[in-house]
Chains A and B, each alone.
Chain A
């Protein structure tokens, strides 16, 4: 039986090689993932296990100071995850199930933080709620110390709750209203239905959001840099190890400490939550969802939701106001100086570089994501689960870890020695100012690696909605795999492709932790510049960068939507249907 299985694998492999395009695609994808995802993580783990690394491990694990930092990180992660998931749940539940006004507006505003650059929320929060805050001090006269855990929880929650919101909204919408009806039919009150039917059905979604937020929070670097105060977390320690001491071993050791909980969460999420999900997404909901309209439920919830919405509006209001005033709250004279700095001044280089690199990374990430989705979801071969897992690692590991891994792997040329030919450079030096393209290649690779997972998931989800027989029909009519992918699959998953592209661009434009160690004299990155501006208190410049960044992202979304198209052509058009 064993040999049979092996022969089977060989035959399976031979089969894939028979389709050259598919084979080349597979080889490119696998090599890409090994080089850009696996090898940096491996190098980082390897570095942490050197003799010096092992000593550091021992020192950190026994030092009360580092135990405290680890506890801080976990505490912050748990708080953000709990509050963010709760916020997301309330908004999602109200959005789907409660009769409140301005639903579309609430939805739109809840999504704003997604396209927001790092530091924007933290800096605005500082100006609003800090010691000299426009709200805390100017209105309430309180000298509130926002630095540390409470400030971090506030800004991280605001930054990441939209993820939970989107996640849970989708699940609540997919809940079969017939279940509610059945429960109500059996005499349950609405509260009882909520408690005994709605919430238990959503437990996987809630747990999933919780874990996702937890990982995002512990991996976040930008906010603790601005608002951390004396509340040290692992991400900031890693940062100082690199920028201050350039101690890659210490950074690798701390990264491994951060990597463990992140990976655990990822694995739990992947193998436990996705299995236990009880929400049926395939079946079309029957019946109309019951909307709650009891005033005692509606208005308190509405008030809570509006409070969140108002907070987001105020924060982004500060960002916009700060971009157009000399020094917000000190000298409120209107000015365009900050924009002049970003667009024409020395800030423009970062803007151009970042946009350009993101624009290069976006289509590659989008196509790679769809290609991997196709290979993973549609082709039967032994390594497909491994490929899926490895690709997802690109986002599952904290960005700082990837950045350090890149420094370790790509700081010199990767060479192999071949007989006769001699030493051949397989991959040239990619990081640092003297690397190819001034280090831009490494940044583009990181952008891609961080973006592909989302495109992959969108692609897999879209593919699962498409009857595999449609693709088989194409093959059966003589098209090869590539032709099928191009003519049938890609057009049908066009909306997923589009969302993959949009995500890739937005993510690339706003990422900081993964590229902060990779910027070079020749390649300046906007988020890194924003950090400089924020750190040196030039909030106006920072806010102008943020505004421009948001405008670029929104414009790109528009351009991509037009270029790719938002529909597949398979949608039912009511006009024709009526005719």
Chain B
């Protein structure tokens, strides 16, 4: 009886406490930020390593949420009146370009911006590049052998009917990796069209034409027949290939190498399309109306230092650092070795929303035969 009363009392207090507590306003933002909330787009272990290092370095209590690139953009857009995050770290730059276009980013120029390559600095210093990496094909050797298919070395190879339900990529709506993949095809199609007829692939401003985009959609509609599943996060298809659920994953090459290092050596192999592949410049930006602007600026300064950029390699995140002073891991796939397309980040950023919505409406929900 006693015990029961105590429990009831506890419950009642809790019931009453909710509305009561709800009335008290949220704590006011302190001028001197002692916390930082990071929206982190790369793989989780890197997010952990970064936030821990920053916290140790500065004493600022740093927490993060990992979200894929498209998810992040959607979330920032949805909460722009009262942002939850102060800094957005990682994910292909085109998402940052789209975000700046929509007024979701506050430009901030860190000291180390000057050491970055030219293409790693966004318009008005809206964003800064932190790493780079190229799209590749991460294949399960054993499965490919069984299917009698060589590791793909071109985008056309992926359309091989033998690979039906054996390819995975992420959903461009949620994943920057997948969007980079999509824009790579747009660029390749634009080049093809331009080669046939001047002005068919690119408009006067150098932007890929609608025809190029339509051609890319045609390609993905065909590829769709071979896709087993569109995952939420960009690197997830790599795991599916590694565990033998699919033969080929379209992911960033460094994520494939990460798998090899972490136990799947010999199980997965990384190849690149010969006709050219896309690459990302991982971005970083201060979110507009950030609740912890000072801490966020400090993060941005710090994240460009060689020390901070070297953290990725310690957790096998083998992207290429943008600060030239950062030592590069031997394992990192080098962009010099790969045929890269002329990836127009700005055009990609501007077309992002439209493409993603169209993909979600036209490609993803289609049944396969």
Contacts and interface: CB of A to CB of B under 8 A. Distances in A.
Does A touch B (CB under 8 Å) in the complex? yes
A167 interface: no
A436 B21 contact: yes
Contacts of B239: 535-538
A434 B26 contact: yes
A47 interface: no
Interface stretch (B6-14, B295-303, B338-346): B6-14
A444 to B, nearest CB: 7
Pick from A248, A519, A532 the residue with the most CB of B within 10 Å: A532
A474 to B, nearest CB: 15
B220 to A, nearest CB: 13
B82 interface: yes
A245 B173 contact: yes
B6 to A, nearest CB: 8
Given A230-B227, A240-B173, A245-B356, A437 B21 contact: yes
Interface string A79-90: 000000000000
A127 B243 contact: yes
A394 interface: no
A143 B146 contact: yes
Contacts of A494: 4
Contacts of A114: none
A65 interface: yes
A66 B360 CA distance: 12
B366 to A, nearest CB: 6
Nearest to B225: A230
A520 B8 contact: no
Contacts of B23: 425, 428
Contacts of B229: 147, 228-230
Nearest to B64: A521
B65 interface: yes
A433 B15 contact: no
A434 B267 contact: no
Given A126-B245, A521-B65, A330 B264 contact: yes
Contacts of A248: 78
B44 A536 contact: yes
B65 to A, nearest CB: 5
Contacts of B364: 232, 240
A520 B246 contact: no
A427 to B, nearest CB: 7
Interface in B9-42: 10-12, 14-15, 18, 21-26, 37, 39
Contacts of B11: 363-364, 366-367
Contact of B14 (A68, A69, A363): A363
Given A228-B229, A521-B63, A563 B3 contact: yes
A169 to B, nearest CB: 29
Interface string B66-85: 11001100110111011111
Contact of A330 (B44, B267, B366): B267
B240 A237 contact: no
Interface residues of B, number: 74
Interface string B139-163: 0000100100000000000000000
Interface string A509-545: 0000000000111101000000010011111000000
A230 B242 contact: no
A435 B26 contact: yes
A222 interface: no
A536 B240 CA distance: 8
B196 to A, nearest CB: 32
A434 B81 CA distance: 10
Interface in B261-312: 263-264, 267, 291
Interface stretch (B112-120, B121-129, B198-206, B230-238): B230-238
Contacts of A65: 365-367
A236 to B, nearest CB: 9
B174 interface: yes
Contacts of A491: 1, 4
B64 A537 contact: no
Nearest to A427: B22
B243 A244 contact: no
A279 B44 CA distance: 54
Contacts of A411: 78
Given A132-B244, A434-B83, A536-B236, A363 B165 contact: no
Contact of B82 (A432, A521, A535): A432
B174 A244 contact: yes
Contacts of A28: 15
Interface of B (DSSP majority class): mixed
A364 B240 CA distance: 42
Contact of B74 (A246, A345, A430, A444): A246
A368 B245 contact: no
Interface string B327-338: 000000000000
Given A521-B63, A564-B3, A69 B232 contact: no
A131 interface: yes
A331 interface: yes
Contacts of A145: 165, 228
B37 A137 contact: no
A551 B241 CA distance: 32
A96 interface: no
B243 A132 contact: yes
Given A131-B246, A228-B229, A240-B171, A490 B3 contact: no
A326 B229 CA distance: 25
Contacts of B218: none
Contacts of A519: 65
Contacts of B245: 126, 130-132, 147
Pick from B22, B238, B263 the residue with the most CB of A within 10 Å: B22
A368 B227 CA distance: 48
A445 B17 CA distance: 13
B314 interface: no
B66 A428 contact: no
A170 B37 CA distance: 50
Pick from A430, A432, A521 the residue with the most CB of B within 10 Å: A521
A433 to B, nearest CB: 3
B74 A147 contact: no
Given A145-B165, A246-B75, A366-B11, A433 B244 contact: no
B63 A244 contact: no
Interface string B342-369: 0000000000000011001000111110
A147 to B, nearest CB: 5
A430 B239 CA distance: 36
Contact of B84 (A69, A432, A524): A432
B255 to A, nearest CB: 10
B8 A536 contact: no
B43 interface: yes
A559 B288 CA distance: 47
Interface of B: 1, 3-5, 7-8, 10-12, 14-15, 18, 21-26, 37, 39, 43-44, 48, 63-67, 70-71, 74-75, 77-79, 81-85, 143, 146, 165, 171, 173-174, 227-229, 231-233, 235-236, 238-240, 242-246, 263-264, 267, 291, 356-357, 360, 364-368
Task: List the 9 closest A-B pairs by CB distance, nearest first.
Answer: A537-B239, A132-B244, A433-B84, A244-B173, A246-B74, A363-B11, A367-B11, A246-B78, A244-B174
21 contacts: A28-B15, A126-B245, A131-B246, A132-B143, A230-B228, A232-B367, A240-B173, A243-B74, A243-B232, A244-B74, A364-B11, A433-B37, A433-B65, A435-B26, A441-B22, A486-B5, A536-B44, A537-B238, A563-B3, A564-B4, A564-B7
Given A145-B165, A248-B78, A535-B239, 14 more contacts: A69-B365, A243-B67, A243-B174, A349-B63, A363-B14, A367-B12, A427-B22, A434-B291, A436-B21, A436-B24, A490-B8, A521-B84, A535-B236, A536-B239
